[in-house]
Amino acid sequence: MLMLKVECSLWFSLFSCSCAQGDLVTHTAWLNRSSILYAGEDKWSVDPRVSLVTLNQDEFTIKIEDVDLTDEGQYICAVQTSSRPRTTSVHIIVQVPPKIVNLSKDLVVNEGSNVTLMCLANGKPEPAIGWRMLSPSDDSLSSDSEVLEIPFISRYRAGVYECTAANDIAVDTQTVELTVNYPPSVSDGRDVGVTLGQRGVLQCEADAVPEADFEWYRDDRRIFNGFDGIEIEDAGAFSKLTFFNVSEADYGNYTCVATNKLGSANTSIILYGPGAVQDGNSGTSTVFTPTCLLLVVLLQLLLKF
């Protein structure tokens, strides 16, 4: 009795099926969904990817290159013997690595907005999809679905988010960059004491996205770069006001204002001379003349007795 045996293998994108034969076989054919691929050595399929590998008394093997989903299905090896035809079959399942096909674009939002990130992927078996905050890393912000919801987003949720699609075959990843805009906040200014004729520098720092534009004021009058020999230099989050030769007229209160499209903030900085006593950083100072200083010393001596 003739026993038919089919063996198939899939190596990357190459698929081959082998049908064992015997001395009693007179005709052999490979079929797929009722379409004849090969009848003996004669190729019936018009698909150039299908070819004959081996045909002899022991084996009848065909191969299909660049396998895709359309090749999935039942393959039948049919043989004709002197007594009657016999068939055996194998069902081929084509697996496809995951591929992310639809991903949210990079986003720029204002602080307090609700954000939704979407990630869609194809693959077989159907891939599992997940989100995580990649940079800066935050394990508390993740999702095991196609959608990641971030309500009332804060500036600390800005960064790079990664979508992962994975099945038994492979993993596909893509990233989205999320930028969060927020109004400026200005660090408290540090008052500066400078001797007449020396170089003095007032510095201002602002945290903002987008980066803040800086303006400097003396009382209510705006100061421009080059005004009275003063240099203003802005570099990212910092602004610097430089006096190259401090004069008596330069002493006083200065205001740094940082502004972007979402708002503004300011801080006051005092430039004072060696005869001024600062009240912390409150923006107030008292200037003593030499006579006043002498009276203060005498009063302190009297209080000791």
Instruction: Provide φ and ψ at 58, rounded to 5°.
Output: -105, -20
The answer to whether the Cα torsion of 216, 220, 266, 249 is positive or negative is positive
- Above 60 in pLDDT, residue 293? no
Positive or negative, the CA dihedral 133, 152, 148, 184 is negative
Average the pLDDT over 194-200 and give the result. Answer: 94
Distance CA 117, CA 147 (A): 6
Residue 210 preceded by cis peptide, ω within 30: yes
Q: How far apart are CA 186 and CA 170, in angstroms?
A: 48
Judged against a pLDDT cut of 60, whether residue 279 lies above it is answered with no
Q: Which residue has the higher pLDDT, 137 or 278?
A: 137
Give the Cα separation of 137 and 115 in Å (integer): 18
The string of pLDDT tens digits covering residues 19-52 is 665 556 667 888 887 788 988 889 899 999 999 8
Domain 2-92 class, CATH top level: mainly beta
Sheet holding 50-55, edge to edge: 6-11, 14-20, 59-64, 50-55
In CATH, what is the architecture of 187-272?
Sandwich (2.60)
187-272 matches 2-92 in CATH topology: yes
159-166 and 171-186 strand pairing: antiparallel
Given a cut of 80, is residue 249 above it in pLDDT? Answer: yes
Cα–Cα distance measured from residue 168 to residue 127, given in angstroms and rounded to the nearest whole number: 8
- Mapped onto helix, strand or coil, the DSSP state of residue 221 is strand
What pLDDT is recorded for position 146?
A: 96
The residue ranges of every structural domain in the chain are 2-92, 97-183, 187-272
Instruction: Decide if pLDDT at 1 tops 70.
Output: no
The answer, as to whether pTM is greater than 0.85, is: no
d(CA 8, CA 175) in angstroms, rounded, equals 39
Q: Residue 142 in contact with residue 179, Cβ under 8 Å?
A: no
Residue with tokens 């009063």: 299
Mean per-residue pLDDT over the chain, rounded:
84
d(CA 142, CA 245): 56
Query: Which CATH number fits the domain 97-183, given the four candidates 2.60.40.10, 2.60.40.2250, 1.10.287.1770, 3.10.330.10?
Result: 2.60.40.10
pLDDT at 300 over 80: no
Closest to 117 (Cα-Cα) out of 131, 127, 104? 104
The pLDDT of residue 200? 95
Which pLDDT does position 79 carry in this prediction?
83
Residue 260: count of CB within 10 angstroms of its CB: 18
Tell me which of 160 and 304 has the higher pLDDT: 160
Amino acid letter, 277? V
Mean of the pLDDT values across residues 172-179? Answer: 97
